[in-house]
Structure 1
């Protein structure tokens, strides 16, 4: 079986599992309850979804990170709650750069579904001053960050700290002296947020001064791609829900899907959703083969496009549904709330367009060839 066959089979398995274990009633219950948003994580660990991008020598499946893309599309389609990005991506990136003690903590995440939280001020630049930061001096972490996904449920945290202008990575256990975690409100129906305060905390180093910046860059690139894939799944499912509703809802003696104005909306939704899906496949498939600057700009461009398209498709789906779109009878409002929350995570369109422009302008001019 080729890698592509394995990836397709794994994505289909995840889809089948979610159809069975995460039906509409279960989804609405979990999205409505902060206490249940991590409830399916142990089952996903048993399926092996958190071992996908982990090397075989470390007990993983040894697949490329691109294998996570179709899985995250499924997560978006089913509007799955939980610390999916952290558990799926982070162990595979950092595992070989940590001590045996750190490996045991990550093994528990991959094998049993223990919650791994990620404290990364790089999730935004526009709001960085409001959310806080962490610094490292003499091996100890100091600072506060107000937007840590599933921090209160975590058994281990991975922290990005600033050390004299360069990023440093450390693993810490929430029970370590000097760690304070407080739940905060969340507008995202699929996530719980926490405020994490670190006061002279000593953690487990991940990599060193030479390798940490590269690891952080990889994490942020792939986070943008996988969030974009999740947004792609949201857009595709909302387009499907709108078509289903337009075939059923009658007005003036006709189903509304027969009206030209509705047809135009549905056609635009489908076009946008398909273009985003194709963009996700293209970027995920080549990201690890691209040079650094091209990889950065590709991931940013994809996430910027996904942020715009998913929200637009969700808004069109609500328009097709009319007033029912915001009631318990329809799921489109859940998808809309999730898309709005993910839009800003690792940069919205405005922020990422600025960053792509800065990357391009910072490059030396292309060499010109004289024509004779």
Structure 2
């Protein structure tokens, strides 16, 4: 595990940086403009946030993915736009399995802030039929995927393709023959989406049929955990915004925070947000030490809980704000839209509850019970 003081220092540095360059007016402008949603990525690369899990031999910090958790909490608190998940997680996870060409692309993302995109059909099992898929036929890729985060801005696409029923990974440059990328609408204020069509495209393999499943499983587990951390940050900010508003807004000659009903609502929101924060810390701290099935179970349970809590807390914050919570005068609606979008990415609560149940049922049931 990484040193806690180092991780706390990194999170505080990110918080200070975002407070200075990503104030409320800047945030609103970027969230409102699809053309600017990746505008802070080069500055974040210069700050070093994409090098946290990047190997020390390449100039990175070489920390485990758990070190990213507190950073993603800050991203959620500040409602940061950009390919934070892709640029933070993919290079350190797949670099050692990539070709020399692929390593150059990932190094550019870490060091200079060029955008990475991840084409993964597992972002939703319930919607997989609509999202599409990619097939590997004689080392060429065919298929269309309807929702790729930051596909139009990407320097490289990491593609999950099916080959004979098994997943394989390829890194592809968007300008390669047989690649077509079209921007599509996005309900997520922090993300641009694209439709990616591959028609005989060729890319650099990442690992082989033997290594791809485990690499992919680890990327997906950590994606769920880091999204949960971001949702935790969103919930924390919504509680803070609601409390601040309740201290200022007056009704019947009193601040609304003095009303018993508002106090109860804020107390419930605070309890939910703190419990989610603690859950994130617990899972992130042990995930890589758990056996495969337990790690899958922990990541799925955390993401399911986060998906529910963040949306519930956002809705509570909107109720505290009243009608103004739905308007451009307050930032609450941005947090709510972001929470709704992240709720579905890599499984909403319903989908993940099914997965948790399946994982539990697959585990051995015979256990030794000590009688006291």
- TM-score of the superposed pair, with normalisation by structure 2: 0.98
> In 1, Cα distance between the equivalents of 2:120 and 2:278?
29
1:355 to partner: Cα distance? 0.6
Aligned positions, number: 371
What is the match of residue 224 of structure 1?
224
Q: Report how far residue 329 of structure 1 moved.
A: 1.4
Q: Which residue of 2 aligns with 1:275?
A: 275
The alpha carbon displacement at 1:365 in A equals 2.1
Q: Structure 2: give runs of 5+ residues left out of the alignment.
A: none
Q: How does 1:100-111 map to 2 (within 5 A)?
A: 100-111=100-111
Partner residue, 1:331: 331
Q: CA–CA distance in 1 between the matches of 2:90 and 2:115?
A: 12
> Where does residue 248 of structure 2 map in the other structure?
248
SS at 1:155 equivalent: strand
Stretch deviating more after TM superposition (361-370 or 341-350) = 361-370
1:128 and 2:128 aligned: yes
1:367 is the counterpart of 2:367: yes
Q: Identify if the C-alpha distance between structure 1 residues 371 and 312 changes in structure 2 by more than 3 Å, giving closer, same or farther.
A: closer
Aligned 1:58-73 pairs, distance under 5 A: 58-73=58-73
Deviations 1:289-324, CA, capped at 9 Å, x for gaps: 000000000000000000000000000000000000
Aligned to 2:191: 191
User: How far is 1:368 from its partner?
Assistant: 4.2
The alignment's C-alpha RMSD in Å is 1.1
Mapping of residues 72-151 of structure 1, within 5 Å: 72-151=72-151
Aligned to 1:316: 316
Deviation at 1:360, TM superposition (A): 1.4
| Cα distance in 1 between the residues matched to 2:128 and 2:18 | 35
**SS of alignment partner, residue 312 of structure 1:** helix
Q: Which runs of 4+ in 1 moved over 6 A?
A: none
- Tell me how far 1:138 sits from its aligned partner: 1.3
- Worse overlay, 312-321 or 157-166: 157-166
Residue in structure 2 matched with residue 31 of structure 1 by the alignment: 31
Shift of 1:5: 1.4
Give the secondary structure class of the aligned counterpart of 1:152. Answer: coil
| Aligned twin of 1:213 | 213
Deviations 1:189-229 (A, max 9, x none): 00000000001111000011110000000000000000000
Deviation at 1:366, TM superposition (A): 2.1
Give the whole-Å Cα distance in 1 for the aligned partners of 2:367 and 2:336: 46
Aligned equivalents of 2:214, 2:58: Cα separation in 1? 21
* Runs (5+) with no aligned partner, structure 1: none
